[in-house]
Amino acid sequence: MSTPTVCIPTAGKGTRMEGLGADLNKALLPLGLQGVISHIIARFPKETRFVIALGYKGNQVRDYLAAAHPLIDFQFVEVDRFEGPGSGPGYSLSKCEAHLQTPFFFVSCDTLWDGEIPFESEHNWFGTAPVPREEAPHYCNFTLTSGEPVISGIFDKTQAPENTRAEAFIGLCYIRNCDLFWPSLKQDVLVGGEHQISNGIRALVDSGKAVARTLDWTDLGTAERFLRAAAKHQDYDFSKVGEFLYILNGRVVKFFENQSIVEKRVARARLNPAVFPPITTCAGQFYSYDFVPGKTLYQENSPAIFRKLLAWLKQNLWRHDAVSPIDFEAKCDTFYKVKTLERLAAYHLKYPGSDVASTVNGIRVPSASELLGQVPWEKLLKGSPAFFHGDLQFDNILYASELDSFTLLDWRQDFGGDVAAGDQYYDLAKLNGGILLAYDFIKKGLFAYAQSEDSITLDFASRYLSQEYQAILAEFVRAEGLDWDHIRLMTAIIFLNMAPLHHFPFDKLLYALGRQHLHNALNGPAH
């Protein structure tokens, strides 16, 4: 078999993706733990030659492929016109002509299919699927001859005549007769203001050299369809705004809309290689590292392992370097008080009228603003300066039992702008929060939130040993001369801070849970 050549245009802005395409090129939107384009790449042999048309957020596509598929030598083509009249998949494809002078596959970056396809064929073939007649104007449609699946007509963005056998083009095809295809593609015919590949297909249809292959198709071309497909890969959307996680080809790849987060995270990882995985690539809005063997502490834990973890963290993570008390207190003020007020303002903007007292699981709890007015900020702002993780909960801690070793994942980029020194109390409170609220169960949708007027009911799955883990943590805190009530306050504030970063209904659960724990922490010591 000869080496297949595949062209994937990624230049378009993805306007039908609505807000999903605001931060990320649509070809990189994650399905499960892989970008859409990776799902496409995986459907072809390893030796396949890929030609990628770049346009809107093209650097993201280039950087993602370098991080996620380092062994593939991609040919990138810059597309100068990727929006407005005359743009479109046909124009993007035409810019790749010099690299596609042999038979090739064309794959739209918003289409997936199930089933085998031939990687060599004597025919030009086009993937098709039946669609309801009322949806046909959204697609390029083919009429097919009775009996054999030869394409007899093409109706782009319009319905085929009634009483004809018709199917929609799914954005996957094999072009064998390049000599016919390329001259026809260059015709200055626009459909819906865009240059479509139907210009080139028409010449193949007119010559009788185009056949259809009906395939099981997943259309990812609109926000609604993409979200429907994504829901099949997860129980609950636990993602945060402006960041995405990918795991493939033995690598973990992280994307952040804010490029400075990438730079700071990489810098922090290199400050303490004893606890973080070595960074393998860093480019633009992406960084990656080799997949680390082991299980999270949600997957494998025990009181003995947890005690061992705390000793390891004390020795390897929480290095207490000298810092200016005044500077550190100012950073704590920014990180705790200012950030909390800003995030809750965003939450209250999202849910107008939510800053009120309510009953949570049968207990009357004051409003968030009233509770925050009672917080002894002068106490919380003292802190315990140390090198820190910043999101230290069981899902971000790997334990390799065969090596008896720990590795920390998904660390925070800074503390009030400082990449070196943070607050040990923050890490301890994050640990406590992850014991109280098992995030792996949340990701499986094992929680419930219900509200009737001003009465809220919360419920979520927890582990049988969670109280014992919390007792071990409290014992460690007190042995270190630290204040457990400080951690209780901080845990509640962390829940409140998390709420605006997540989707409904988990955001509302976090907000109510944070108020509940803050009310308890302000009204008496821990038992």
Q: 301 and 390: one domain?
A: yes
Would you write out the chain's pLDDT as a tens digit for each of its 527 residues?
689 999 999 999 888 888 888 889 999 999 999 999 999 999 999 999 999 999 999 999 999 999 999 999 899 999 999 999 889 999 999 999 999 999 999 999 999 999 999 998 999 999 999 999 999 999 999 999 877 799 999 999 999 998 899 999 999 999 999 999 999 999 888 888 889 999 999 999 999 999 999 999 999 999 999 999 998 888 777 777 789 999 999 999 999 999 999 999 999 999 999 999 999 999 999 999 999 999 999 999 999 999 999 999 999 999 988 788 889 999 999 999 999 999 999 999 999 999 999 999 999 999 999 999 999 999 999 999 999 999 999 999 999 999 999 999 999 999 999 999 999 999 999 999 999 999 999 999 999 999 999 999 999 999 999 999 999 999 999 999 999 999 999 999 999 999 999 999 999 999 999 999 999 999 976 54
Which pair of structure tokens corresponds to residue 7? 């062209």
In a domain, 222, yes or no: yes
Q: 175 and 103: one domain?
A: yes
pLDDT of 189 reads 86
Q: 226 and 346: one domain?
A: no
In a domain, 390, yes or no: yes
In a domain, 301, yes or no: yes
Q: 185 and 334: one domain?
A: no
In a domain, 357, yes or no: yes
Q: Of the candidates 372, 355, 352, 344, which has an alpha carbon nearest to the alpha carbon of residue 500?
A: 344
In a domain, 73, yes or no: yes
State the CATH number of the domain containing residue 212: 3.90.550.10
pLDDT of 527 reads 46
Q: Note down the domain range covering 422.
A: 294-522
Q: Of the candidates 169, 12, 167, 162, which has an alpha carbon nearest to the alpha carbon of residue 83?
A: 12
Q: 190 and 51: one domain?
A: yes
Q: 215 and 361: one domain?
A: no
Q: Of the candidates 292, 106, 78, which has an alpha carbon nearest to the alpha carbon of residue 182?
A: 106
3-state secondary structure of 157: coil
Q: 304 and 446: one domain?
A: yes
- Indicate the number of domains in the chain: 2
CA distance 310 to 305: 9
Q: 299 and 420: one domain?
A: yes
Domain boundary at 182, 197, 231, which? 231
State the CATH number of the domain containing residue 321: 3.90.1200
Question: Is the model's pTM score more than 0.85?
Answer: yes
Domain boundary at 210, 231, 252, which? 231
In a domain, 80, yes or no: yes
Q: What distance lies between CA 294 and its chain's CA centroid?
A: 22
Domain boundary at 189, 207, 231, which? 231
Report the length, in residues, of the chain. Answer: 527
In a domain, 65, yes or no: yes
In a domain, 32, yes or no: yes
Which pair of structure tokens corresponds to residue 322? 């000298």
Q: 209 and 326: one domain?
A: no
Which pair of structure tokens corresponds to residue 364? 């009357």
DSSP 15: G
Exposed e or buried b per residue across 228-261, where buried means at least 16 C-beta atoms within 10 angstroms of its C-beta: ebbeeebebebbeeebbebebbebbbbbbeeeeb
